Amino acid sequence: MVTTLMTHSATESALVAFAKRGGYPLIEIEADLPEDQEWVFESNSQLMLDNIADQKIIISKAGNIFTNTPSLQHIQRAKNALNNTLRVHENNMTVYVCRTSVMELIRQQHTKKMAERKGLIHSGRTEAQILMETIVNSALVEENVSDIHFFVNENTGKTYVQFRKDGILTFRRNSENKSNIWNSAEVMSACSSMINTDAVDEGSSRKTFNTNEAIDASFTLSVACGVVKIRYAQVPSSYGFKVALRLHRDGSADKEIKDIGSMGYLPVQCEKIDEATESAAGIVIISGPTGSGKTTMLYCVLRHIPDTKAIYTFEDPIEMNIPGATQVRVDNETMNSSLSWAALSKNALRLDPDVIMFGELRDQEVAHEAVNMAMTGHLVLTTLHTNGALTCATRLNDLGISYDRMGDPNLLKAFIYQRLLPTTCPECSIALDDYKASGKNIKRLAQVNTLFGKHQKVRISNTEKNNPCSVCTGGVNGRTLVAEVAEIDHAARKFMSENKIIEWETRLLENDWISINVHAAVHILQGRICPMRVNGSLSEPITAQHIAIACRYLSGTTKNKGLV
Ligand SMILES: [Zn+2]
């Protein structure tokens, strides 16, 4: 411990006597104030607060004790408080004994900092906080709003706010000026109020708001209609910065996720998924674009694994709770962290797992460990970014798992690919027969008529700008899942080991496989998805073969149940 004596005070002789009494060395320094101290003022320790209030002792989070009352008893009390509340080690404590005027400067600095912070978080809510709470609350009261976007332009001072609802972004009006324009300075302080409060989850590293930096944080916000967990992502841009807030409604996951069927998988697909996830060992991959509900699907599968098995999940971030599972938040930011993807995947086997979920198979190292786990008798669930179930094989090969290796009967169990497509509003949609196209839609309508013309139930979304419908946005009233499930059987392994992915798909379709296009065709034939808008959302256009398979599926005359 170091004791510093700031001299030249009226009580100099008292300070010298004190240092001598305590056996502390005497160091004479200029009365410069230590910079950037985080002051203790929210401590639960009444002892500390008393000391601050009577200004005899101020203690800081850095382990510094400032006093103008050189009493051993006072110092000891402050040390105990530092040690008990902040766990500052004895060796890291520094005692500054200073004259009254220096103490007064420290006190003023301390008071100013407290006022600044209290202005943000303690003395009621600031206007910035109220603005953010109002925006988040209005997103929560509307159904299906998943994200809030802020385009903050610091040059023009104008900000645009958008809500993503059913996958589609729409501008939010500012009721105060009755336009789509929001004040950048106000939105910026609203963002700052979220990032700089203590609400940032302990699990994520603390961030300081700075518009020139990328920020990734998560925290819980309490607003009028409830509590919501928020993932905050920010990047600087040429005009200012952009923020995307992902909303995780409290408890909604528990209510919504019941079984895979209720997510939109067809019964034949559910069977294949159940079979794969009931395996004791092997890899099951869930694939799809960002925002396709891959994580929800992973959680859904995990919840159905019995609690007699040891389940570990490695995620970044943890989005929902799974009862009975050990959920670990991955920290890939800290150098050499024991919680990095690489470190966790290496150590996972020592945790005696049955089932391991990797939020993402992000690099060769993790892919290698996943293969190792599967081959040593564990079930591994993970996600990939691909544009189809079968191309998971191509992606695995990119990650260093050879096609030859994929032929191993113990390694792979199923490739699942899913995405969400907008559903047609039943209130305002138009029967295909009655639909009149104009402009660039004329050619598209001709194609749609060739494919679907004879099917009576097909409906077209009303995308007219003047559509007066009150239950939808632009003819769309939600999203539905379309998916394909590739079971890894003997034939699949043979196609993979020979790298014949196209031939594999041809063979599956010959046997009435429900590919994602077939699944989409099933929805179109039932009037749930608009055929005019579907092609932009699928990697390949829907063909007559897909429709024929969909028709056979709907009429129960599918060729080969074993392969769908
Ligand atoms: Zn409508």
Domains of the chain: 2-120 (no CATH), 127-250 (3.30.450.90), 255-563 (3.40.50.300)
426 Cα–ligand 1 center, Å: 6
Q: How far is the CA of 451 from the centre of ligand 1 (A)?
A: 25
Ligand 1 mean position, distance from CA 127 (Å): 37
Instruction: Please list, in sequence order, all residues whose beta carbon lies within 8 angstroms of the beta carbon of residue 305, skipping any fewer than 6 positions away.
Output: 277, 311, 355, 379
Ligand 1 center from residue 231 Cα (angstroms): 31
Show the tokens assigned to 501.
């992915």
How many whole angstroms from 462 Cα to the centroid of ligand 1?
7
pLDDT at residue 355 in the model: 95
C-alpha of residue 461 to centroid of ligand 1, in Å: 8
> Which is nearest to 548 in space by CA: 505, 510, 504?
510
The Å distance, Cα 411 to ligand 1 centre, comes to: 47
Tens-binned pLDDT, residue by residue, of the chain (564 aa): 556 666 544 456 777 777 777 766 665 555 555 554 555 655 555 555 555 545 567 777 677 777 776 677 777 777 777 777 667 777 777 777 776 666 666 666 666 665 555 444 334 567 788 888 889 888 887 777 889 999 999 889 899 999 988 777 888 888 788 888 999 988 988 888 888 765 455 455 566 788 888 888 877 787 777 778 888 888 888 888 999 998 886 544 444 556 788 889 999 999 999 999 999 899 999 999 888 888 889 988 988 888 788 999 998 877 777 878 888 888 877 777 788 888 888 888 888 899 999 988 888 988 999 999 999 999 999 999 999 999 999 999 999 999 999 999 999 999 999 999 999 999 999 999 999 988 888 999 999 999 999 999 999 999 888 888 888 888 888 889 999 999 999 999 999 999 999 999 999 999 999 999 999 999 999 999 999 988 788 989 999 999 999 999 999 888 765 443
Three-class secondary structure of residue 378 per DSSP: coil
Transcribe 7-57 into DSSP letters. Answer: -SSTTHHHHHHHHHHHTPPP-B---PPPSS--B--S-S-HHHHHHHHTTSE
For the chain, helix, strand, coil in percent to 5 are 40, 25, 40
Q: Calculate how far, in angstroms, residue 475's C-alpha sits from the geometric centre of ligand 1.
A: 5
Q: What is the rounded distance in angstroms from the CA atom of residue 262 to the CA atom of residue 256? A: 9
- DSSP-assigned beta bridge partners for residue 218: 231
Are 268 and 564 in contact by the 8 Å Cβ rule? The answer is yes
Whole-number Å distance, alpha carbon 544 to ligand 1 midpoint, is 29
Residue with tokens 């059913």: 166
- Tell me the CA–centroid distance for residue 160 and ligand 1, in Å: 26
Q: What is the Å distance from ligand 1's center to 264 Cα?
A: 22
**Ligand 1 midpoint to CA 334 (Å):** 49
Dist. CA 446 → ligand 1 center (Å): 24
| Cα of 456 from ligand 1 centre, angstroms | 20
Determine the Cα–Cα distance for residues 173 and 162; give it in Å rounded to an integer: 9
Strands 226-236 and 379-384: unpaired
How remote is the CA of residue 424 from the centroid of ligand 1, in Å? Answer: 8
Neighbours of 444 (CB within 10 A): 15
**Gap from CA of 473 to ligand 1 centroid (Å):** 7
What spacing in Å lies between the alpha carbon of 546 and ligand 1's midpoint? Answer: 28
Query: What is 171-189 written as a DSSP string?
Result: E--BTTTTBS-EEHHHHHH
From CA 77, how far away is CA 51, in angstroms rounded?
9
Bridge partners, residue 312, by sequence = 326, 356
pTM above 0.95, yes or no: no
pLDDT score recorded for residue 111:
63
**Cα 428 to ligand 1 centre (Å):** 4
Reduced 3-state DSSP string for 230-250: EEEEEEECCCEEEEEEEEEEC
Would you list the DSSP string of 315-332?
Answer: ESS--S--TT-EEEE---
Give residue 258's pLDDT: 60
**Distance from the alpha carbon of residue 539 to the mean position of ligand 1, in angstroms:** 27
Q: How far is the CA of 468 from the centre of ligand 1 (A)?
A: 8
CA of 558 to the centre of ligand 1 (A): 34
